[in-house]
Structure 1
Amino acid sequence: MAARDHADVLIVGSGATGSLASLVLAEAGLKVICLEQGGWVEPREHPHYSGDWQWQRRTRWHSDVNVRRNSDDFPVNSDSSQVLMWNGVGGSTNVYGALWPRFRPSDFRKGTEHGLQPDWPITYEDIGPYYERADALIGVSGLEGDPSMPAHPAYPTGPLPLGGPARHMSQAFDKLGWHWWPVPAGVISSDYDGRPACNGCGICTSCPRGSMSKFSMSVWPRALEAGTELRTYARVLRIEKDRSGRATGAIYVDRNTGRQHRVTADVVILAANGVGTPRLLLASDNLANSSDQVGRNLLHHTLVACEMWVDEPLASHTGYVAALVSREFAETDTSRGFINGFNFNCVTTGGAGEQANGHMSSARAPWGKGHHQWFQRHFGRGFGIFGIGDDLPNPDNRVTLSATQRDEDGVPVAELHYRPGENDKKMMSYMLDRLVDIAKAADAFDYKLQDYMDDEGIYRTPAWHLLGTARMGKTPDMSVVNKFNQCWDVPNLFIIDASVFTTGGVVNPTPTVTALAIRAAEHIRDNFRDLAKTTRPMAA
């Protein structure tokens, strides 16, 4: 093993949260080392510059690691779901949609509301200022004044233009009398911080320009300038601890040379996502798991969708991928037959090839006779709506380690198990009915529902969101970290990715997880001397 070196703070993972923590702590003058098992993803590697970019988005640029099979990824076995994550500088911001809606105040108090989910140990008001700091770093675009949300300052850049799909969908929502609002986005609508404004090309989820906040282009340059040492192709094998229970650092393998290295640190931060973090903790002799909650309570969000087409040219293959958000059904109303609520994300369609082969559903152009007729009727005239709901935590939905499989470095393979509960299924059924209401209000001549169930009735969700597997809580018996993302069992170990989510809410998690990461990093910065020596579990 190569000689060790020492950092004030060691961060595992260079995605959205790892990059922000690196920036905050390096700017404070601390020596920060960040380990990333993948490499840099250069703009020229993106599919945008290739004629077969749509094929690439379904193969080498697919969001699911088990379809993409990038050499930088680690294997993940899943019995029901796709696994969205990207190992490389910037993490999953290399392949996300950058929708930027915030949690609502009620999302933090589900235990008080109905008791089938725990309350967070923090409130919306606690996290509000950090939402704004994250917005400023990223250059979030949006329109303030959404009546369904608490008031907050204007977004750093104004709302993106409403294209044909957004205008048509807004009319359908108005006809139904339902809430809608332009979706806030991690996409700059005007030049910002040296990055060019979105040009509306429509090839979203992997923007090589930096208009969509790909954190390797928006945050990492600043973190490196502040002094962070970023080590790529560094796959962490385990977190080490001493006899007092403190984390002492990590062992990693340099994937370029095959040699193992040890890095010691006064504070260790895990930012390895909702699969990578519990996998690493479990592989590190069940670290930080006296509660038996590590890996448990995996949340994906309930998910259904509808693809629909109207007799109006909408140029729906252009513009930012997301158009509107509707929180009409975001709060619990037990008269619907279930608890919790859901959100509608209204989106554009893909390119010609993607639409012809089924973009959001199994609706596709016939092969041979009728192909051109179908395509002329449908292309550029469609849009889609995802129903995203707050699934209830279930300790049996979880990440575990394989008893028989190991990766090339000898670490046990992560295994995911997930099934929606009865409340989740009732919500999904209700969402599908409301999607039909929208299709009819939009005067769609054709629509196709997507319930993500296979022929055997097993839920096969895209599972973009990997949440809850090392959750935050008020007491150490039912959670892994406290309100500052600090492990109850290991006082100088912090977890700052979305595995700490207590509940999933009804919106995309990136805005909330980035705000939490900044909050945790500032707590570490302001208390570093104490954290560097404490051996006592911290109070809530």
Structure 2
Amino acid sequence: MSATMDSACDVLIIGSGASGSLSALVLAQAGLDVLCLEQGNWVDTKERAHERPDWAWQRQDTWNPDVNSRSNTDDYRVDTNASHVLMWNGVGGSTNVYGAIWPRYRPSDFRKGDEHGLQPNWPISYEDLAPFYERVDRLLGVSGLAGDPAMPPREQFPTKPLPFSRSAQKLSKAFDRLGWHWWPAEAAVISEDYDGRPGCNSCGLCFGCSRGSMSLFSQSVWPKALRAGARLQTNARVLRIEIGRDGRATGVVWKDRISGREERTRANVILLGANGVGTPRLLLTSDNLANSSGMVGRNLLHHTLVSAQIQVEEQVDGHVGHIASLISREFAETDLSRGFVNGFNFNCLTSSPSAAELSNGWLGGSAAPWGKGHHQWFEKNFGHSITLLAMGDDLPNPENRVYLDDAVTDADGIPVTRVNYAPGENDRRMMNFGLDRLVDIGRAANAITIELNDYRDTQGVYRTPAWHLLGTCRMGDDPEMSVVNRWNQAWDVPNLFIVDGSTLATGGVVNPTPTVSALALRAAEYVRDNYLELSRTTRSAVT
């Protein structure tokens, strides 16, 4: 069916998540006509799982961060061999279901090619990105404590650290006994009133904050972008990006999911922020766009993940407060004596709320029994558990990828998206080492029990809940080995910019949203400052 209506704008943004919202804010504030197309809808605060008495169950069902574990009409089908797929179609994107843990990449993450050569160097350095980290932090009101000796110096955080929980106090003593690094976790959660939003009240297990204390980008960024003049079209599924005779993007064809009508929107510059699955999907279905390197969809990075749930004798109230308590970079850097390159980070998390103990525990932990022994189990366990994650920097593998199944299409005629992922041998050695270190922490904390989860089944298939979707349109300085350049600009399509996590050249050992956000802000400012040059050769085609 041909598109029936035409419209135009200066800059078109696909996807309204962290990167799309920041891009819209920067470009609208510059006076450009900005339109963002979002496949999903606004999320009503009253619908969030946290506001419902059965919210722990809803977190496993309707509000599950894994797109394949919930039923949501805004989603599209993603077939995967093993991994969870964390994404959310809706205003604010995956920040609707993230934990808002907010650590930065380390300087070494940007130069793995020099370090061991099994990953590429980034075409930029930590120092290039540091000012953008700072600006995003100030915009969101990130909380934390400056001075972490494992990281470069930085400015003071906009808001003070979140309360140091009882579980954090317990773990800090365990890390001290081991002589290992630890530091209070940074969070995109305001600890005090900031920019018209109320400070965190420590109500617990932050997965969608109706108060606005957590920086869901639908609440912290989009209101500013809309006031600046950006336009946001929800329920708009982009079907393909169109290219002119000169090889530049001219616009997109999208489907209004309410009316069913196809429309065409023309634009001088397009920014693509549909996440590490959605972005390669759209490029591949747009006649293999921006893929002269063959790297679109390749080198999917998830982060390796192993975890432990420990039980301690003291009441630590792990169900209270922000999800993260401590971070440890003790094993973040490469040390070849361990038998692998790269490293991992410890995320020390809260434990389950009472209802979650009944469903399936926390990240694969033991669930409470039904019937005989139920009350005794609760008395012994609830409020006594702490969750530990060892999240590692997986090596890129071109066979870990996002691709299209041309034999199976959805209702809009788009091929179904498939995801293939498996950790390599280096990743597995790192995971095994991490499991041993989790035992060390449990013993140093005088844990009564230590339950390990490595998410590998008896056949070795890795069913990771690590979730992150990175690397599938990676940044580089060689157009034959990357999809975008140092400014997130597609090598093949000069007025197309990719601003989501798919451009990350390496995965690091920490949650990626701070880095994705800083890169998006940097790319948007580049588009703002170079808009006339970027749009000059396409203006006649779209006006």
* Short-chain TM bin: over 0.9
Alignment of 1:97-176 (within 5 A): 97-176=99-178
In the alignment, the residues of structure 1 paired with residue 167 and residue 15 of structure 2 have an alpha-carbon distance, to the nearest angstrom, of 37
Q: 2:237 is matched by which residue type in structure 1?
A: R
Give the 5 Å matches for 1:383-394.
383-394=386-397
Name the SS for the 1:137 alignment partner.
Answer: helix
What does the per-residue CA deviation read over 1:74-106, in whole Å, with 9 as the maximum and x for residues that have no partner?
Answer: 110000111100000000000000110000000
CA contact (8 A) 1:361 1:449 kept: no
Shift of 1:481: 0.1
Any conservation in 2 of the 1:306–1:361 contact (CA below 8 Å)?
no
What is the CA-CA distance between 1:161 and the residue it aligns to? 0.4
Q: Deviations over 1:94-124 (max 9, x none)?
A: 0000110000000000000000000000000
Match runs of 1:498-513 below 5 Å: 498-513=501-516
Using the alignment, how far apart are the partners of 2:523 and 2:537 within structure 1? 17
Tell me, in whole angstroms, the C-alpha distance in 1 between the residues paired with 2:211 and 2:23: 23
Show structure 1 runs of 4+ deviating over 3 A.
none
Give the letter for the 1:329 counterpart: F
2:436 matches 1:433: yes
CA contact (8 A) 1:469 1:500 kept: yes
Q: CA–CA distance in 1 between the matches of 2:51 and 2:131?
A: 39
CA distance in 1, matches of 2:181, 2:270: 43
Counterparts of 2:80 and 2:5 in 1: how far apart (Å)? Answer: 37
Whether the 8 Å contact between 1:234 and 1:255 is mirrored in structure 2 is yes
**Deviation of residue 364 (structure 1)?**
2.1
Which residue pairs with 1:395 in the alignment? 398
> Alignment identity in percent?
63
User: What TM-score, normalized by structure 1, do the two folds share?
Assistant: 0.98
Is the CA contact (8 Å cut-off) linking 1:90 and 1:214 kept in structure 2?
yes
Provide the residue aligned with 2:541 in structure 1: none
Letter in 2 for 1:174: D
What do residues 205-245 of structure 1 show as CA deviations (whole Å, max 9, x unaligned)?
21111111000000000000000010000000000000110
Equivalent positions of 1:7-406 (< 5 A) are 7-356=9-358, 357-406=360-409
Q: Deviations over 1:499-530 (max 9, x none)?
A: 00000000000000100000000000000000
* Farther off after superposition, 438-447 or 45-54: 45-54
User: Is 1:139–1:186's contact at 8 Å kept on the other side of the alignment?
Assistant: yes
Q: Which amino acid counterpart does residue 468 of structure 1 have in structure 2?
A: G
Gaps of 5+ in 1: 536-540
Structure 1 vs Structure 2 CA RMSD: 0.9
Q: Give the whole-Å Cα distance in 2 for the aligned partners of 1:73 and 1:408.
A: 12
1:3 positional shift: 2.3
Contact 1:36 1:232 in 2 (8 A): yes
Q: Distance in 2 between matches of 1:98 and 1:294?
A: 28
- CA apart distance, 1:367: 2.5
1:136 corresponds to which letter in structure 2? R
| Cα offset, 1:183, TM superposition | 0.5
Looking at structure 2, the residues matched to 6 and 396 of structure 1 have their Cα atoms a distance apart, in angstroms, of 38
Kindly indicate whether the alpha-carbon contact (under 8 Å) linking 2:5 and 2:262 is maintained by their aligned counterparts in 1.
no
Q: What is the number of equivalent residue pairs in this alignment?
A: 535
CA offset at residue 534 of structure 1? 4.9
> What letter corresponds to residue 505 of structure 2 in structure 1?
T
CA distance in 1, matches of 2:63, 2:402: 24
User: Are the equivalent residues in 2 in contact too, given 1:202–1:350 (CA < 8 A)?
Assistant: no
CA–CA distance in structure 1, aligned partners of residues 417 and 472 of structure 2: 12
Distance in 1 (alpha carbons) for counterparts of 2:449 and 2:205:
24
Q: Deviation per CA, 1:398-449, whole angstroms, max 9, x where unpaired? A: 0000122212211111100000000000000000000000000000001210
Distance in 1, matches of 2:298 and 2:466, equals 16
Alpha-carbon contact 2:83-2:467 (below 8 Å) kept: no
Secondary structure of residue in 2 paired with 1:156: coil
Q: Which amino acid aligns with 1:213?
A: S
User: How far off its partner does 1:372 sit?
Assistant: 1.6
**Which among 474, 480, 484 is matched to residue 487 of structure 2?**
484
Q: Matches of 1:407 and 1:322 in 2, distance apart?
A: 38
Gaps of 5+ in 2: 539-543
- Report the Cα distance in structure 1 between the residues aligned to 2:258 and 2:347, rounded to whole angstroms: 41
Structure 2 match to 1:538: none
CA contact (8 A) 1:346 1:384 kept: yes
Q: Distance in 2 between matches of 1:463 and 1:317?
A: 21
For residues 411 and 183 of structure 2, what CA distance do their matches in structure 1 show?
47
Match of 1:422 in 2: 425
